[in-house]
Structure 1
Amino acid sequence: MNQERIEELAAQWQAICGQFSETDLSYSFEFIQQHVTVLVAEFYRQMMQEQEASYFLSDELVRSRLKNALQQWLLDSFAVPFKQDFKAIVAKQLKVGEVHARIGVPSWLIIRGIREIQHLVDQLFQVAEYIGTGNDSLTQLLNRRYLNTILIREIQFSRKNRSPLSLLAIDADFFKEINDRYGHAAGDLALQFMAEVLLESSKGSDYAFRVGGEEFLLLLVDSDWNRAQMIAETIRRRVEDTPIRSAEGESFKFTVSIGAVQYDGHPDYQRFLDAADAALYSAKNAGRNQVYLAK
């Protein structure tokens, strides 16, 4: 990378920072300072779930050194607007890339790592602005306020990088019967359980939404058909097999129907949503308590 390219990237970085007020930038830096240890720990937890990644990160000494380096990288990156050393930080990243190349760390693993950090930072900020913003008060999942923005961003990333993207539309079967028979408090417990299952069945870089009464969406990033089907079946079976106990001590079970779609490259996010809804409708028409894969 020549000096001209470094200056170009530094200018782009500076322009992005210029879109935000000094107060916002200060808050972001302070937030990263407070959570950097948690971010890095979660990052490596997610990365070690990948068999290929564990091959490169298996040595504890290497992992320990990388953790410290990653923490410093995050702090340096968010401190750039105040130090105004954009060219220096870009040049530093070039050196890091050269080291990765020399020791044989594949570029896809580096990109995956950066992407995991991006999602972890996003989700931490979402938690920080939880009250009265884009989270559902009952399940603490994201609600429709974030849906369009996140879909547009993930579609753009998928188109640019040719990475797979999947969407699950999930709906509780005969949910009204739960409310009618066991009461709305029991229905709330069922919805909270569904949210728990979605979060436990996915990974940190995925997005779980409650978009209606008993309607949920799970956006699976970097996910092909195999992963989408596996997660959908995991969710369906877990809900079907787990009894819910109401505050009155009554126990009941329920099921879910799931429609799964793979992003087809079309830029319109609404088309992606409509395809998931159609797949969910097909699952319900086929008898409920099943996964329908729209291919």
Structure 2
Amino acid sequence: MSHHSDEQHAAEWRHLLHRYSAPVRQQVRALAAMHRHMLASHFYVQMMQDKVASTYLSHEQVHSRLHASMQTWLTGVFALGPHDDLMPAVAQQNKIGEVHARIDVPVNLVLRGARSLKEKMHALLQDDASLDGAQRAAAGQLVTQVIDLTMEIMSQAYSTSRDRNSRAKEAYRLFAVAQNVSTERERRRAALLDWENQLMFDHAVGLQPGQLPRLGMSEFGLWFRHKGAHAFQGASETETILHAMQRIDEVLLPAFAQPGSEGQRIPQLRELREHSKHIAFHLDALFEQNSELEAGRDVLTRLLNRKFLPVVLGKSVDHARSNGASFAVLAIDIDHFKQINDGHGHEAGDMVLQQMASLLTHHTRGGDYLFRLGGEEFLLLLVDTPLAGARRAAEKLCAQVAAEAFHLPRDQTAQVTVSIGVAAFNGHPDYQTLLRRADAALYQVKHAGRNGVVVAAD
């Protein structure tokens, strides 16, 4: 939101307040303060009646924080006078609108809640015997106009944020899933073949059907479900591949366990092989169609940059909430990186960053997301991973980095360590809370002496 737009909204707010006498403003302020708990509860109940809203508001933290925040908001917006600094209030409405956009709360639901809030406050004013008719009418108009103005500011911030997110999503859809498309295609075909070979081997050595590797959880499957399907969204081949994967995992593999199916093994294996070949064929077609994908990567490390962080996190939250899945983020920071730059020069620092990116990439799965956030900060998003798995992955990465010899100019080497803060998705719809928890855990590692892992509390 531009500073000019904020100033304009502050001026409109000030002009609005000047139109009402101090006693009317004081009466509305007292009404909001006295009934803030009941009004916040009323707002929450009204919102929860909507099935869409209930999916966002049912989380315990959202409930408790929304109720407290709503009370603070009510007392705050109606406590302002025409001579107060209104810019902080405008900034607060902008922030609320941006949060609504980030967690994808439909704006019509917010407006519906605001309407119910106005109706309740008007009813309270009608019951206030201390007001005469003119005062009651003026107070009602003030309530309506203040709420309408705050909703206007929120909606503008919501719209701006949504537009920005939509552009980022479209760019992400078109961004290259790898620096070199032809190389990426071969990597993914190889991952698919690895799964097929592993399946055939496990079957040959007599593993039970329930122990056979599922395609959806293989290296290829994780990559396609979390990255490929999104990058190639809209293509008919994408749905074909997802359908084939689902048939393999939910129909063909479980069929091995059915009584009397031993005589069907060869036809079943042939059908599996045909589906695998079918997937590879359509995968080639997808890469051919998208050979001009836009790269959105950090220039130095070739990792994802901040541009796509909101898109990826938002998509991961939606997937987790819709499917009951787990994911986690690792906030990774290179320890004492400034000493490398100061002692060996920026060329050495760049070499360490590139080697760190390579090491982290090598030790993460195809479906995971690795970002360079800037400087010596990295973020790793682990898909389909519960907290215990994220902790193990972080501890393993920490040990792997510490054991690596990082090459510097003039044939020198350096030992490098990292600090890692871990946070698992806990159901909260706003991904910023997840990032803040990971950052807080990272700060604890730094404070405790670095070169370690701390897991954020829920």
TM-score (norm 1): 0.64
The aligned counterpart of 2:374 is 212
For residues 293 and 243 of structure 2, the distance between their equivalents in structure 1, rounded to whole angstroms, comes to 36
Q: Deviations over 1:66-87 (max 9, x none)?
A: 9xxx9xxx9xx99x9789xx9x
For 2:415 and 2:364, locate their aligned partners in 1 and report how far apart those are by CA, in whole Å.
22
Is 1:195–2:357 an aligned residue pair? yes
Q: 1:178 aligns with which of 316, 323, 340?
A: 340
Distance change >3 Å, CA 246–CA 166, structure 1 → 2: same
SS at match of 1:211: strand
CA offset at residue 37 of structure 1?
A: 6.0
With over 3 angstroms needed to count, the CA separation of the structure-2 counterparts of 1:293 and 1:189, relative to structure 1, is same
Alignment equivalent of 1:271, drawn from 401, 424, 433: 433
Q: Which has the higher contact order (CA 8 A, sep 6+)?
A: 1
Q: 1:98 to 1:33 in 2, by over 3 A?
A: farther
Separation in structure 2 between the aligned mates of residue 93 and residue 195 of structure 1, nearest angstrom: 31
- Would the aligned equivalents of 2:181 and 2:291 in 1 still touch at CA under 8 Å? no
Please say which structure displays the higher CA radius of gyration: 2
Aligned to 1:243: 405
Give the ranges of 4+ consecutive aligned residues of structure 1 lying more than 4 Å apart after TM superposition. 31-38, 53-57, 80-83, 88-101, 127-131
**Distance apart, 1:155 and its partner CA:** 1.1
Among residues 255, 269, 272, which one is paired with 1:102 in the alignment? 255
Structure 2 distance, partners of 1:185, 1:93, is: 45
Give the count of matched residue pairs. Answer: 233
Matched, 1:58 2:178: no
Q: Give matches, 1:82-97, under 5 Å.
A: none
Cα distance in 2 for partners of 1:257, 1:186 equals 20
1:56, 1:256 → 2: CA distance? Answer: 40
Residue 308 of structure 2 aligns with an amino acid whose one-letter code is Y
Q: 1:255, CA displacement in angstroms?
A: 1.2
Q: 1:102 to 1:237 in 2, by over 3 A?
A: closer
SS at match of 2:374: coil
Classify the secondary structure of the residue corresponding to 2:330: strand
Matching of residues 129-148 of structure 1 within 5 Å? 133-148=295-310
**Once the 2 structures are TM-superposed, how far is the Cα of residue 280 of structure 1 from its aligned partner?**
0.8
Code of the residue aligned with 1:282 in structure 2: it is Q
Distance 1:151 1:272 in 2: 9
CA distance in 1, matches of 2:433, 2:318: 14
Equivalent of 2:189 in 24, 40, 45: 40
Match of residue 259, structure 1, among 421, 446, 452: 421
Report the CA distance between 1:181 and its aligned residue: 0.3
Residue 282 (1) aligns with residue 454 (2): no
Partners of 2:387 and 2:245 in 1: CA distance: 34
Match of 2:314 in 1: 152
Identity of aligned residues (%): 37
1:224 aligns with 2:400: no
Q: Secondary structure at the match of 2:370?
A: strand
> Which runs of 5 or more structure 1 residues have no equivalent in the other structure?
1-23, 26-30, 106-112
**What is the CA-CA distance between 1:40 and the residue it aligns to?**
3.5
3-state secondary structure, aligned to 2:381: strand
1:267 positional shift: 0.7
Q: Distance in 2 between matches of 1:32 and 1:181?
A: 38
**How far is the alpha carbon of 1:271 from its aligned partner?**
1.1
Q: Distance in 1 between matches of 2:241 and 2:424?
A: 37
SS in 2 for 1:139: coil
Separation in 2, partners of 1:89, 1:197: 31
CA distance in 1, matches of 2:349, 2:440: 25
- 1:43 CA displacement: 3.3
Q: Is the 8 A contact 1:201 1:234 kept in 2?
A: no
Going by fraction, where is helix more abundant, 1 or 2?
2
Normalising by structure 2, report the TM-score.
Answer: 0.43
Q: Secondary structure at the match of 1:282?
A: helix
Q: Distance in 2 between matches of 1:173 and 1:81?
A: 44
CA gap 1:273/1:43 in 2 versus in 1, 3 angstroms: farther
Change (3 A) 1:129 1:185: farther
Q: What is the alpha-carbon distance in structure 1 between the residues aligned to residue 443 and residue 431 of structure 2?
A: 19
TM-superposed deviation, 1:273: 1.1
How far apart in 1 are the matches of 2:298 and 2:181? 24
- Residue 323 (structure 2) pairs with residue 161 (structure 1): yes
Q: Quote the offset at 1:219 in angstroms.
A: 0.2
Measured in 2, the distance between the counterparts of 1:250 and 1:291 equals 28
Conserved? CA contact 2:352–2:407, under 8 Å: no
Partner Cα distance (1:200, 1:147) in 2: 20
Shift of 1:99: 4.3
